[in-house]
Chain A
């Protein structure tokens, strides 16, 4: 299993541009998450999904959109990029069932908006 994969690894955007960060997991997890990590800080939840077709806002959703059309994929869309969105973005997935679950994180996408 590849686990959680993210593309791209790095990206530089100009203010006002848009882009989609890709996230795929091959563990058949039902839950998926997007977090951002600013320098020297912990992660903050942007959006999450409990299954295909179902998404919900986290702590810092403004400026982002998500969709979940399949179990495997959970892309994050940035519209009208702003310098405040310069951050490292992590996708994670987990399985919630009768057993213990934990979140598995992807390698991250480092985004700079200038």
Chain B
């Protein structure tokens, strides 16, 4: 059974600071996704990481994937209040070239204070 663990689950930080969210998963997969969810809203895709060593950046967010360590990180640089949200990582359950759905972590609730 595929398990996805995020930490921390809750993070309060000040504007201007840097921090990293970690996502560990239990079985081999080379497709990992990061989503953002605002309260009462749907999920917004942030990054799709498809191979070992993949690194993607968008604004103050940067995501990376190490498939050998089964670890992905989401790094926040110089945080601003607008980045306050819940961040989910998800791993593809696919096998044999299919796409059997995603297994999600519990999410990291991020609050950025002035």
Interface positions of A (Cβ within 8 A of B): 31, 33, 35, 40-45, 48, 50, 56, 58-59, 90, 94, 96, 100-108
* Cα(A101)–Cα(B31), bound, Å: 10
A39 and B15 CA atoms in complex are apart in Å by: 27
Residues of A within 8 A of B57 (CB): none
- For B98, the chain A residues whose CB sits under 8 A away are 50, 96
Residue from the list B45, B50, B100, B102 in contact with A43, Cβ < 8 A:
B102
Residues 71-102 (chain B) with a chain A CB within 8 angstroms? 88, 90, 93, 98-102
Query: Across the A-B interface, how many residue pairs have beta carbons closer than 8 Å?
Result: 57
**A42 touching B42 by the CB < 8 A rule?**
no
Once bound together, how far apart are the Cα atoms of A62 and B4, in whole Å?
22
User: If the complex has contacts A94-B99, A96-B99, are A42 and B43 also in contact, measured as CB distance less than 8 A?
Assistant: no
The distance in angstroms between the C-alpha atoms of A45 and B103, with both chains bound, is 7
Q: What class of interface size applies to chain B in its complex with A?
A: 20 to 34
* The one of A45, A50, A90, A94 that contacts B43, using a Cβ cutoff of 8 Å: A90
Q: Is the CB of B104 within 8 A of A105?
A: no
With A and B bound together, what is the CA distance between A44 and B104 in angstroms?
Answer: 7
Contacts of A40 in B (CB 8 A): 106-107
Q: 15 A-B contacts, Cβ less than 8 Å apart?
A: A33-B102, A35-B101, A40-B106, A42-B104, A43-B90, A43-B102, A48-B100, A58-B100, A94-B99, A100-B48, A102-B45, A102-B48, A103-B102, A107-B41, A107-B42
How many angstroms between the C-alpha atoms of A33 and B56 in the bound complex?
26
Closest Cβ of chain B to A36, distance in Å, is 11
- Nearest CB in chain B: distance from A43 CB, A: 5
Contacts of B105 in A (CB 8 A): 42
